[in-house]
Amino acid sequence: MSEREGELDVVSLENEEDEDIPDVATCQRLVEQFAEITGTDEACAQFYLQDRKWDLQWSVNAFLEARSGGIKILNDGDEPEVVVTFDSQMVSVLSAATEKPPDKFCFITWNIDGLDDKNLKKRTKTIARIIERERADIVFLQELVPKTFTYLENLLPQFVFVVGDTRDYFTATLLRRTTVYFDAHNIVPFENTVMGRNLLCVEAHIGDVKLNLLNTHLESTAEHSKERVEQLTLAFTNMKSCLPSSTVIFGGDLNIRDKEMSSVHPPSNFFDLWEACGRRPECRWTWDTERNTNKEMPGRFKPKCRFDRVFLRSAESPLVKPQHFGLLGLEKAPGTQSFPSDHWGIIVHFEIVKRANDSASSQSLSLIRPSTSK
């Protein structure tokens, strides 16, 4: 650390080989912002930022935890949980400090199986830890129940929760307060549902990127195939109605079977992201009773399905490109013999690309298509 308090050691920064370190001017700005948020000096700011790849939010959180200020210990009958609290002043300062919008973001969708009481609190806590560990920006959750909803709000105060309902079981869309900004929402009811299902539509933005986020849990079980296909068709219709200037992400627990999917035919500019990211076979099945033992299935046949899916329609510019598609929740919740849910979660990493030339939409869409088919 520099001997002159309040100044950056420019020589050491310029010689640093770590690609994660920004330029000197950006480092100085981050140091000043950290000091303003925490009420400390720039020497302390350098100490925290340098150890955390100059990530402002991560560094502030670490400082708060170390000082036991701005945090609370959640004693809920389970092991104590450290929860960082974001009061209105903290959120305001952090938001103002983020002058440059991110050029990437992380998305998760997960049916968290709130209807199963077995190890529910520990499973839910594990899901919250995974969401934060992955530094997700946008999260679609399905099958919340009132008690897991309240619990997750306590565990994840750094997110805005937008819910599709608050009775029985329902969906919620979570937006990280310092990266994704909520604009509006509405709920589209499914008139044919017998299970209280709907389409939760959230409008938000990340810098110049306008987002339409459509989260749903379609009708369950094989005997409700007709209703499910009608609901999926309605969801695609809502996707098509979004403005061309908006990036549309649609997903959730669709409960869809491959033969049902083939009868719906999504529009040509909508991309199934498992397919667009290379069709990796290890990421295909999101409800897999061979690997996931939360639901014991009698007999030798262990069904597996791609119930959970994510679709993207990117705007012409800025272009949102999927970079990675993976699964979450593959390890059992600590202290239990249960996985976090009977569904695997889906995680997708996106890159935001600003193109100088916004000529043709087909040119934009070609950037999303997989280069090879498997």
pLDDT tens digit string along 323-356?
999 999 999 999 999 999 999 999 999 999 986 5
- Asked if pLDDT for residue 3 goes beyond 50, the answer is no
When mean pLDDT is compared across 232-241, 320-329, 348-357, 365-374, the lowest value belongs to 365-374
pLDDT digits (tens, 9 = 90+) for 132-185: 999 999 999 999 999 999 999 989 988 999 999 888 999 999 999 889 999 999
Q: Of all residues in the chain, what percent carry a pLDDT higher than 70? A: 80
Q: Are 204 and 182 in contact (CB under 8 A)?
A: yes
Query: So what's the pLDDT on residue 242?
Result: 94
pLDDT reported for residue 7: 41
Instruction: Give the number of residues written for the chain.
Output: 374
Specify the pLDDT at position 363.
Answer: 43
Q: Higher confidence at residue 23 or residue 309?
A: 309
3-state SS of 348-359 is: EEEEEECCCCCC
* pLDDT value for 356: 59
Q: Is the pLDDT of residue 114 over 70?
A: yes
In sequence order, which residues have a C-beta less than 8 Å from that of residue 227 and are 6 or more positions away?
A: 190, 192, 193, 194, 219
Read off the pLDDT of each residue in 28-35 and give the average, rounded to a whole number.
Answer: 87
| pLDDT above 90 (res 24) | no
pLDDT range class, residue 73, cuts 50, 70, 90 = very low
Per-residue pLDDT at 238: 94
Q: From CA 268, how far away is CA 265, in angstroms rounded? A: 8
How large is the angle between the packed helices 146-155 and 120-133, nearest 10 degrees?
Answer: 40
Alpha-carbon distances of 296 from 55, 302, 356, rounded to whole Å: 43, 9, 54
Higher pLDDT, 186 or 355: 186
Q: Which residues are catalytic?
A: 253
Poorest-confidence range of 87-91, 215-219, 222-226, 278-282?
Answer: 87-91
**What proportion of the chain, given as a percentage, has pLDDT over 90?**
60
Residues 6+ apart with CB under 8 A from 348: 106, 107, 108, 273, 277, 310, 322, 324, 325, 326
Instruction: Tell me the average pLDDT of the chain.
Output: 84
pLDDT of 357 > 80? The answer is no
- The mean pLDDT value for 233-253 works out to 95
Q: What pLDDT is attached to residue 99?
A: 58
Residue 45, H or E segment: helix 42-50
Cα separation, 49 vs 223, whole angstroms: 55
Q: Where are the beta strands (DSSP E) in the chain?
A: 71-74, 81-84, 104-111, 138-144, 159-163, 170-176, 181-189, 198-206, 209-217, 246-253, 271-272, 287-288, 304-305, 308-313, 319-328, 345-353
Q: Token pair of 290, please? A: 């061979």
